[in-house]
Amino acid sequence: MLYPSQRKPVRETPNLALLASSFAPHQEVKINTLTQDYYQIKKDLLRAIAHNEFEVYYQPQVCTKTQTVTSVEALVRWRKPEIGLIFPQDFIPVAEDLGLISQIDELVLNKACHYIKGLQKTGLYLSIAVNLSAETFYQPTLVKTIKSALENSQLEPEYLELELTETMILNNSQQVLKTMKELKLLGIKLSLDDFGTGYSGLLYLQQFPWDTVKIDRYFIHDLSKFAKNRVILNAIISLARNLDLDIVAEGIEEECDLHFLINNNCHRSQGYLFSPPVIADNLIETIHKINYQLASFFHTKVAA
Ligand code: C2E
Ligand code: CA
Ligand code: CA
């Protein structure tokens, strides 16, 4: 058995009375195991790339200053014909081992840029955050790939944010810095994902040209119960603020955690509290619901 899923079941309804009632149940079919052997998986992944079996899901990010959804993160799923929907953790590590992940990342990037540009034509202007694996980041053609994705979709670069993790920086920081500077010259944004879970986050915050820091959900949960989490979170927020970085808190599931973040100057939030990742066809409706509920949430807050 290869790569059994450790995923905890996604909660059917976000844990917020305010928003939860309005969401349709999470549509994804949970795949616990992939029982095929290595060569079969490789064959399947190659076929999946050739036949474009990957779907991009979008998870809204809320700006609590404007009280609206301002951006989304693109999260890939594999719709394998014989099985159904497979989550990233069940195939990304295999795709990385097999050297196939950069092809998948490129598919996601192109699809996401086209989709976001299409939304602009309906009057909805969102930023899109796209995840890159280390292998993709180290491709000598990376800058060209990003440039082509922007040109082909006609998406303005300021709407694209690439999410990188510090583990991909560990090996060759000079090369990484050079690539990051080239990417920044395109006009796109760079985000440090999973902040706080790596080895030497503080050093990497200061040495590289980040626009955004995404605080890992490990630090977000149960803020009302754990004073130490609150202290760490406040320290990260003030550090990032002083370095003039944008901050996104991810994995927000509880309304009380959202209150804490708002009161402590963290204004971009993402998590099941607002919505799980949704298919493209459901995104506009999901955003309208979130925006509507945010309006009443802030109205109540002000009135209280
Ligand atoms: P990530 O980049 O840290 O993405 C956040 C993950 O947390 C997503 O899982 C998302 O569905 C989940 N999440 C969001 N809100 C909540 C919440 O409130 N509570 C909890 N418990 N989880 C939440 P997902 O979609 O399964 O993706 C897992 C990881 O797979 C991502 O973690 C990212 O590292 C990787 N990934 C996803 N799409 C891509 C891609 O296109 N390319 C690459 N290279 N990696 C990807
Ligand atoms: Ca991410
Ligand atoms: Ca993350």
pLDDT digits (tens, 9 = 90+) for 28-43: 433 334 445 778 888 9
CA distance 245 to 268: 12
> For residue 87, is it within any domain?
no
Nearest CA to ligand 1 atom 23: 251
For residue 172, pLDDT over 90 is answered with: no
Ligand 1 atom closest to Cα of residue 133: 44
Predicted pLDDT at 199: 66
Whole-number pLDDT of residue 39: 82
Q: Give the model's pLDDT for residue 202.
A: 76
Q: Are 180 and 155 in contact (CB under 8 A)?
A: no
| Residue 267 predicted with pLDDT over 50 | yes
Q: What is the pLDDT of residue 36?
A: 55
Q: Rounded CA gap, 77 and 92, in Å?
A: 10
Quick check: is 13 in a domain?
A: no
Residues in contact with 123: Cβ distance below 8 Å, sequence separation at least 6, in sequence order: none
pLDDT of residue 200: 59
Which range of residues forms the domain containing residue 71?
Answer: 54-79+99-303
In a domain, 153, yes or no: yes
State residue 190's pLDDT score: 98
Mean pLDDT to the nearest integer, 149-159: 98
219 with 239: CB under 8 angstroms?
no
Indicate whether 73 belongs to any domain: yes
Instruction: Please state, in angstroms and rounded to a whole number, the distance separating the CA atoms of residues 188 and 179.
Output: 12
pLDDT at 299: 79
The two counts, helices (H) then strands (E), for the chain are: 11, 10
Q: How far apart are CA 43 and CA 46, in angstroms?
A: 5
pLDDT average, residue stretch 219-247: 89
Q: Ligand 1 — pocket residues by CB below 6 A?
A: 59, 75-76, 87-89, 92, 101, 105, 108, 131-133, 163, 193-194, 217, 251-253, 271-272, 277
Q: Please give the pLDDT value at position 26.
A: 38
- Minimum mean pLDDT range among 16-25, 156-165, 255-264, 280-289: 16-25
1 pLDDT more than 50: no
**Is 30 among the domain residues?**
no
Question: Is the residue at 262 inside a domain?
Answer: yes
Q: How far is CA 6 from CA 32, 167, 256, in A?
A: 8, 21, 27
- Say if 133 falls within a structural domain: yes
pLDDT tier for residue 221 given thresholds of 50, 70 and 90: confident
Report percent pLDDT > 70 for the chain.
86
Residue 9 lies in a domain: no
Q: What average pLDDT does the structure give for the chain?
A: 86
Residues 6+ apart with CB under 8 A from 54: 48, 76, 77, 78, 79, 104, 107, 108, 111
Pick from 11, 57, 75, 98 the residue to mutate for probing ligand 1's pocket: most ligand atoms within 8 Å of its CB: 75
Residue 7: per-residue pLDDT: 38
* Range with lowest mean pLDDT among 85-94, 147-156, 200-209, 256-265: 200-209
Ligand 1 nearest-atom number relative to CA 273: 18
Taken as a whole, the chain contains a residue count of 304
CATH of the domain at 218: 3.20.20.450
pLDDT at residue number 6 = 34
Mean pLDDT, residues 127-140 taken together = 96
Residues contacting 263, CB < 8 A, separation 6+: none
According to DSSP, the residues that pair with 73 across neighbouring strands are 59, 129
Amino acid 275: pLDDT = 98
Name the band, by pLDDT with cuts 50, 70 and 90, for residue 222: confident
CA of 272 to the centre of ligand 3 (A): 13
pLDDT digits (tens, 9 = 90+) for 21-78: 333 333 443 333 444 577 888 899 999 999 999 999 999 999 999 999 999 999 999 9
Reply yes or no on whether the pLDDT at 153 is more than 80.
yes
Buried b / exposed e along 6-33 (16+ C-beta atoms within 10 A): eeeeeeebbebebbbebbeebebeebee
Which protein residue's CA is at the shortest distance from atom 34 of ligand 1?
A: 131
Number of independent structural domains in the chain: 1
Q: Whose CA is nearest to atom 11 of ligand 1?
A: 277
Q: Look at residue 13 and tell me whether its pLDDT is greater than 50.
A: no
